[in-house]
Amino acid sequence: MDHDVLLPGETLGLMGGGQLGRMFAQAAATMGYHVAVLEPGATSPAGEVALRQIAARYDDAEGLRTLAQTVRAVTTEFENVPAASLRALADAGLRTTPSADAVAATQNRNVEKAFIKRAGVPVAPHARVASEADVAALPAELFPGILKTASLGYDGKGQARVANVEETLEAFRAFGGVECVLEKRLALKLEVSVIVCRGLDGATKTFPVSENVHRNGILAVSVMPARIDDATANRAREYAGRIAEALDYRGVLCVELFILEDGSILANELAPRPHNSGHATIDACVMSQYEAQVRVMAGLPLGSTEQHSASVMLNLLGDLWFDEKGEAATPDWAKLLSIPGVKLHLYGKAEARPARKMGHVTVVAPTGELAMARAREAARVLGLPEPI
């Protein structure tokens, strides 16, 4: 891979127009770069703050040609960008961060788990399920478990808790008989994640570990740094770096991990892009995950991942835009912003819908205790469950 530096003033390509792309485009603009977004539809959160939006499907040949003629490098903002499209852009001479091969390895849970194991990082006991015969052959020790579709599942979608073979067969049929993976349910102490960035020169850096709380399968709260001991945090960051290096990854990668009651760490899944749990890096770290994404694309050195403020991030879903009767309502932004340390990030989405990610709040403070106290106050103002 070439290491030519793309200087400010260049236009960077982005596959996907969602909120992660919006924050990437904002970081790029801060550093003097323009962004061209490839996204179906006329408008998008990323397109609103980018120089140009190319309205085309991610696999549209003409749209890909237009993007290739506009930029010299391209990145992604969601995990299901077609790997074939990235491969076509690379064949056209574009720098792709991440590469098509790296993205493809994360788009199938069975392939991903096999890769993580080969990288020397432990995963939960699991089995591939691609047929009803596979269901019948599942070993009893994998139950109770969670059946997940191998591809395209996110935010808790495409998942079912199952207690035995009969329930697994029912869920497998409900998923349409597509390839799945059955994972054994384990006694979790915490869910955490590590954002790792790896440059064109192979230099690898990790951000502090984030401690994550999900509600209804969607990330609700992230505490950074995670409330874990240094040895556990260092092991989690080492695992993330090991996976990025084994993938020969270039770009920003999120490694989601489980910490079990016995203190052991298992890798859950990968996201080949910035991640919700890394939003706090914008306000709490010297370099954000989005600035890191720009630096890698441009062939620049990685910056510091040091955290200068403790933080708690609260996800804002579309439910907040409705009152108890289901009628439209507006959160009390003025009261929220009266709380010291609160930073509001809204994604510019035209319509609020229940469970739709509309924005986030990052609360920063000199200490974790103060950040959490302020986050609890913010949650009360917004009508969110109190973070703990």
- 206-229 pLDDT per residue, tens: 999 999 999 988 999 999 999 999
- 123-158 pLDDT per residue, tens: 999 999 999 999 999 999 999 999 999 987 655 568
Q: Is 289 annotated as a binding residue?
A: no
User: Taking the domains of the chain in order of start, what are their residue ranges?
Assistant: 11-96, 125-184, 188-382
The CATH superfamily of 188-382 is ATP-grasp fold, B domain (3.30.470.20)
Looking at residue 153, its pLDDT comes to 63
> For the chain, what is the total number of helices (H) and then of strands (E)?
13, 18
Q: Is 374 annotated as a binding residue?
A: no
| CATH dotted code for 11-96 | 3.40.50.20
Q: Is 47 annotated as a binding residue?
A: no
**If you search the block for the tokens 């010291």, which residue do you land on?**
340
Looking at residue 368, its pLDDT comes to 98
Q: Is 185 annotated as a binding residue?
A: yes
Is residue 273 within 8 A of residue 329, CB to CB? The reply is: no
Distance linking the first and last C-alpha atoms of the chain: 45
Q: Is 360 annotated as a binding residue?
A: no
- 175-204 pLDDT per residue, tens: 999 999 999 999 999 999 999 999 999 999
User: What's the chain's average pLDDT?
Assistant: 95
Q: Is 239 annotated as a binding residue?
A: no
Q: Is 153 annotated as a binding residue?
A: yes
Q: Is 19 annotated as a binding residue?
A: no
Q: Is 269 annotated as a binding residue?
A: yes
Question: What does the DSSP assignment read for 67-116?
Answer: HHHH-SEEEESSTTS-HHHHHHHHHTT-EESS-HHHHHHHSSHHHHHHHH
Q: Is 357 annotated as a binding residue?
A: no
Is residue 132 within 8 A of residue 175, CB to CB? The reply is: no
- 335-364 pLDDT per residue, tens: 999 999 999 999 999 899 999 999 999 999
Q: Is 308 annotated as a binding residue?
A: no
Residue (of 89, 76, 114, 110) closest to 252 by Cα position: 76
The CATH superfamily of 125-184 is ATP-grasp fold, A domain (3.30.1490.20)
Residue type, 228: I
Q: Is 268 annotated as a binding residue?
A: yes
d(CA 243, CA 174): 33
Q: Is 109 annotated as a binding residue?
A: yes
- 232-289 pLDDT per residue, tens: 999 999 999 999 999 999 999 999 999 999 999 999 999 999 999 999 999 999 999 9
